[in-house]
């Protein structure tokens, strides 16, 4: 996964507006735990596509 650090500084979780951190092939919200997929280096920030925390 190759997401520019500048982009990670400005995008937030669309559900709770928490910060996102990179983990493997996902962006994980530090507040609510939703994990958003990254496809072809493009974050898919759709709540319906997010994996719920375990």
Q: What is the pTM of this model?
A: 0.89
| 47: Cα within 13 Å, side-chain hemisphere | 7
Identify the CATH number of the domain defined by range 5-49.
Answer: 2.20.25.10
The domain ranges of the chain are: 5-49
What are the tens digits of pLDDT across the range 1-54?
A: 788 889 989 999 999 999 999 998 999 999 999 999 999 989 999 999 999 987
Do residues 36 and 1 make contact, with C-beta atoms less than 8 angstroms apart?
A: no
Q: What is the DSSP letter of 19?
A: B
């Amino acid at each position: 996964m190759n997401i520019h650090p500048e982009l990670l500084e400005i995008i937030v979780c669309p559900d709770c507006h928490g910060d996102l951190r990179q983990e493997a092939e996902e962006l994980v919200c530090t507040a609510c735990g939703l994990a958003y997929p990254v496809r072809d280096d493009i974050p898919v920030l759709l709540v319906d596509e997010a994996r719920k925390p375990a």
